[in-house]
Structure 1
C-alpha cells in the first residue's frame, strides 16, 4: 500500500508528550496533519517531583513552528481532575477526540522486597489508572468518532527485568487493560492496541545496574524514539484495522507480541506426580497456538484479526 497513513484532521491526545517517545509521537502525528493535545506534567523521571520545565509547551512550540496544530496541557494522568481537564480542553479545542496515545509513565528501579505498597501504588496510579481513567473519560467522545483508536504503552519489563517489580507489574496491568478494552470497544468500533517500545530515553539513565554494562549507551545510539513513533502513529490511524494486539517497536524493528497456549496434556485422573512427569510435554512449544481473548474488529473494518488468530 503506497498511500500515506491518514491522520489528517484527527484529534489526538498524546500523554507524556513533552519528552522522549511521547514527544516523537506528537511531532510525527502533527507533521502528518493530526491536531494534537500534548500532555505532560513536567515531572522527574520517577514522578516524585514536578520540575520547573514545561516540556509540553516546548513540544507544542516546535509543532506550531512547523505549521502544525497543537496545544499543551500540564497535568498528571494520575489525577482525576487532570484527566477531566485533558478531555474537556481537547473537545473544546478540536470538537472531539479520535485517538488516545497513553504514553505517560514514571520509572525507577527498586530492590525487592525492600518496597512498600505505596511505591507500587504510585506506578499503578500513573500507568494503569492513568490509562484507564483517560479511556473512560474520553470514551463517549471516541464513540462519536469515525475512526476511534486507543494506543496504550506496555514494556518488556512485564516479563521480568531485575529491579522492576513495581514498573513491570504496572505495565502487565496495562496489557490486561488493553485486551479487555478491546473487547468492550468492539460494539462501538473503538480499536484498542498497545505498543511495547524500546528507546534510549531518559528512563535508560535511571536504570542503574538493572541493564548490562554498556547497554544503555547502545540503546541511546541505536534505538531513537523517532523509530518508535511510526508504530504508534499507525495504530492511532484510520489504516489500523485490528484490535487487542501488541506491537513491539525498537530501533526500526517491529514485531507482534502474543500469549500462546501449548497443546499440553489432558488427564482425567491428574495427580501432582502426573504434572511432574509430563512437565516437558506441558512446556513444549511445538504446536502452540496464540491464546484468544475474544476481541474482534468491527464488521466492515477489512480483515478480522483477533488477539488469537488471523481469520
Structure 2
C-alpha cells in the first residue's frame, strides 16, 4: 500500500494545542507525513470553567520539530474574521501558502436548553460555527487562486439530536450544512470540503464530565484521539475522491454519515388530512435515496447580482 504523504503542502489545524486533543493528533499526523503545519490554539479560554490546564500550540510545535517535522505556532482566535485572517497570514508568511485547513477549534457546554446562559449560547456560535466560517473565508481566496484546496470541518454526532446539547448540536449542524454548501461552491474551483464527526478522550470531554463518569472512564480507556486522525488525513489528501461528505471516526470505526430522502407521495391537491392518511408513505425508508450536492450552473437562473449592503443600487 502506497503511503499517502503531504510533502510540499501547508496545513492549518485550529484548536491543536491541547493534550489530549484531536487537533494535536491531526497536526502530528499531517506533519509526520511531510506537511508544514500551522498549529493554532489560543491557549487558555478566559471563559472556560473546567479545562484541565492551558493548551499550548508551541508545545505541539516542539513535538513536531523534535520528530523532524516543520511547524509554527499561532495563538490568534478563530472567533473573529481578523483572527482567522491572522492565522492564514501565519501560513502564508511562514510557508508560502495554504493547501489544507482543518477547522477543529470548538467548545462544548452541556446544559438543558432552558438553563444555558445567553452568553454560552453565543460562544458556541462564535467559536464552533463562525470560527469555521471565518477561517474558511480567510483561506478560500488563496485556495481558489491556486485551484487547489482541502478543507476538513469537524462536526459532531450531536448534530443528529442529543439532549442537553441543543446549542452545541445546532452549531455543529451548521458546520455540516456549511460543509455541503462550500463543497458545492468549491467544486469548480478545485476546493474539496468534507467533514469528520469524531469521538475521543480529549480535554473537551474531560471538562464536560464529572470525574467519576463511567462514560469518561470508557472514553479514556478505548477512545484515544489518534484513532480519529486518519479520517481527517485522508479527506485532507490530494487523493481524496469526494466532496461534501461526512465521515464518523470513533475508536477505530470509520463510517459514512449522509442525508437521505424518502420517496413519499405526490398529490397537488393534498390537504392536511391527506398527509395524515398517507403518513406511512411519507415515512417509508424502503425506497429512500441519498441527497446529493447541488452541483449546478446557476448563471442562467436570473439571480440578482450581489451588492454589499452599503452600496446604493441605482
User: Is it true that 1:40 corresponds to 2:41 in the alignment?
Assistant: yes
Counterpart CA distance in 2 for 1:164 and 1:101 is 23
Looking at structure 1, the residues matched to 49 and 207 of structure 2 have their Cα atoms a distance apart, in angstroms, of: 13
Q: Is the 8 A contact 1:98 1:149 kept in 2?
A: yes
Cross-structure match for 1:179: 180
Whether the aligned pair in 1 keeps the contact of 2:51 and 2:206 (CA below 8 Å) is: no
Aligned equivalent of 2:84: 83
TM-score where L is the length of structure 1: 0.88
What is residue 10 of structure 1 aligned with on the other side? 9
Q: Is the CA contact 1:41–1:50 (under 8 Å) kept in the aligned structure 2? A: no
What TM-score does the superposition give when structure 2 sets the normalisation length? Answer: 0.88
CA 117–238 in structure 1, closer or farther in 2 if over 3 Å, else same: same
Deviations 1:166-212 (A, max 9, x none): 11100011011101111111121100000011111122223448xx9
Deviation per CA, 1:29-75, whole angstroms, max 9, x where unpaired?
Answer: 11011000000011349747999735111100100001100000012
Q: Match of 2:222?
A: 222
Q: Is the 1:46–1:108 contact (alpha carbons within 8 Å) kept by the matching residues of 2? A: no
Which digits, 9 at most, give the CA deviation of each residue in 1:49-107, with x for residues without a partner? Answer: 99973511110010000110000001210032221211111101000110100000011
Alpha-carbon offset, residue 217 of structure 1:
1.5
Separation in 2, partners of 1:270, 1:37: 56
Distance in 1 (CA, whole Å) between partners of 2:157 and 2:53 is 31
* Contact 2:51-2:203 at 8 Å conserved across structures: no
Equivalent residue runs for 1:119-134 within 5 Å: 119-134=120-135
How many angstroms apart in 1 are the aligned matches of 2:263 and 2:223?
A: 37
Aligned equivalents of 1:246 and 1:46: distance in 2? 30
CA displacement, residues 103-139 of structure 1 (integer Å, 9 cap, x when unaligned):
0001111122123443222111111111111111111
> Hey, what's the Cα distance between the residues in 1 that align with 2:167 and 2:123?
9
Alignment gaps of 5+ in structure 1: 297-311
Quote the residue 1:269 is aligned against.
269
Number of the residue aligned with 2:235:
235
- Tell me the SS of whatever aligns to 1:60: helix
The answer to whether the 8 A contact 1:54-1:74 is kept is: no
- Superposition pairs of residues 1-311 of structure 1, within 5 angstroms: 2-19=1-18, 20-44=21-45, 47=48, 53-145=54-146, 147-208=148-209, 214-295=214-295
* Contact 2:147–2:189 under 8 Å retained in 1: no
Structure 2 gap ranges (5+): 297-314
How far residue 151 of structure 1 moved from its aligned partner, in angstroms, is 0.3
The 1-side partners of 2:3 and 2:46 are apart by 35
Return the alpha-carbon distance in structure 2 between the equivalents of residues 199 and 54 of structure 1. Answer: 17
- Aligned-CA RMSD value: 2.2
Structure 1 residue matching 2:98: 3-state secondary structure: coil
Deviation of 1:218 after TM superposition, in Å, equals: 1.2
Q: 1:254-292: CA deviations, max 9, x gaps?
A: 111101000112222212122122222211111100012
**Contact between 2:109 and 2:120, CA under 8 Å: does it hold in 1?**
no
1:213 positional shift? 5.8
CA displacement, residues 226-248 of structure 1 (integer Å, 9 cap, x when unaligned): 00111101111111121100011
Q: Give SS of 2:42's match.
A: coil
Which 10-residue stretch deviates more, 57-66 or 116-125? 116-125
Query: How many residue pairs end up in the alignment?
Result: 293
